[in-house]
Chain A
């Protein structure tokens, strides 16, 4: 019933699309592109671009698994990509339709193969790390000049959090990010798959939860830039974008991003085409457009995330390619870890744990 309903809606969309010009519908993360690229795409291809945004993988997965989302290109992260491939949500890519495929960086493709064996279903858009964002002056004001801004202890030690709560802390509303970090803080395997080990993250997160102003995965960009909060455990590029916005606003807020010395999650956001995409040809054109070295470089320069495109590196600004917070040096690279998806039963266990942590019950 639900399915036919959705199909009907999609059919309507398709009809509306057919009546007008050709259309590609893209569903990407919020604040994740230089918007001038969207106009450029339409200009070059004559295809209308409908660009919607989301701010959690969970949200995207809900739409993917419901089916008939109506989107042609979506951007899931590694572990989610893997699950959705299992569920049959994506179509295999035909590389002959992606002339720019050769621009990809094998360092990234090899790592993504963990989620997408043989890189059959997706190409990399951006990748990054999950780490610590601070309003450095406020944090030093609260914790002193020797505040451990490059350590998970800043976030996971309740003593620090209690003080930081005066100036506000956001954490990502994503158990897939927060629980591995808590395990890393404890010195355990961040990619643990057993409930027993995962359960050890709970007391750590529970102890700090009362000091968290909000668990949210996108509001922190503005909150950090405005000075509403002084610390966040979030995604590298988002923190750097906040840094940029604060600098633009010239409001005296100085933001820093740190990859924790205990290690950080390395994640990959991948461009993929839903199995039921209304306009797969348009989707290929969009992906190929984003594989263009100039275009993806422009996107990276704008959002401060590293991309998986080797050829684009020559076009990157120095404050992107030269920043080890974005393109980590070999030494930092070694500390980065990746995770694999939990099976459904463990997933249920983790999400329940997450709800309990957030709500304090």
Chain B
């Protein structure tokens, strides 16, 4: 989704010869009896912008803190550049972290905050100044170098934190909910700025977020986590279009989930019977599914068309009454109640002015979608 068209295809995860920068090998982390991370295996490649996505408490922060060295895995191995990190303390790791709270040192100026890590590094004294200036320029804070953190705005603090964590040119930058404290407008601007900086510096970024939109925007790959387990690791578009589970489909964006039984109709096509008096749903799937298997059919609202008459060329069409209309500016979401009481959401772009809208409450309409618009999910 966020991949600019001009960029050459960057997909080392598809290249069997590529060597991963970070490897989690069957990592488990327990806090007492509580299993925070449950047998996770991931490879993260150099220059990736990798997002860990999940609700709070899913273990994504723990995973990141293990990379930073603040927690040790209970079982399994974490490798950076092929070297086991187990006995490397946080201060000797070639990773840096940008904290959710920013963790700026309140007693030090912006300049001193950025220089803090450099002063603890073998960098010669004479090079520290220029490096700090460079970082200040990168985050456009040259004018605020002498200020203390409490004298600048939230957005500026966020950029100081970023500059500080980037100053040592780490192999891997960890970002813990980096934009969580910013308001929506600033957050969106900053997302693009982050991507820009990631590209400029060529640093590998690992971002932890609970905001799926943010993950989709910035990441080259997204890992969706739940209860300490990896559910799906894939590029944002595939996560969205081809979720591997109801959980992922539901977590990312808006979706209609329909429970039913699948019956093969040949050539990778299936008919899903789901309700008395409703036609079966025609859907495609690459997987072989035995007849009568209970499945979930997931379809995004924007993939569903809405019309007054039954369209002739669509594989699926159902009739219902408009129950509710949510106007979101650029789009409107229609909630349509079918004859059997099922509620289906359809989204339509508002390419016309509101006054000339075609449908209104209680109108009887047809909802239609192609047989490849949705996905069949087994779990």
Direct contact of A and B (CB under 8 A): no
Residues of A near any B CB (own CB < 8 A): none
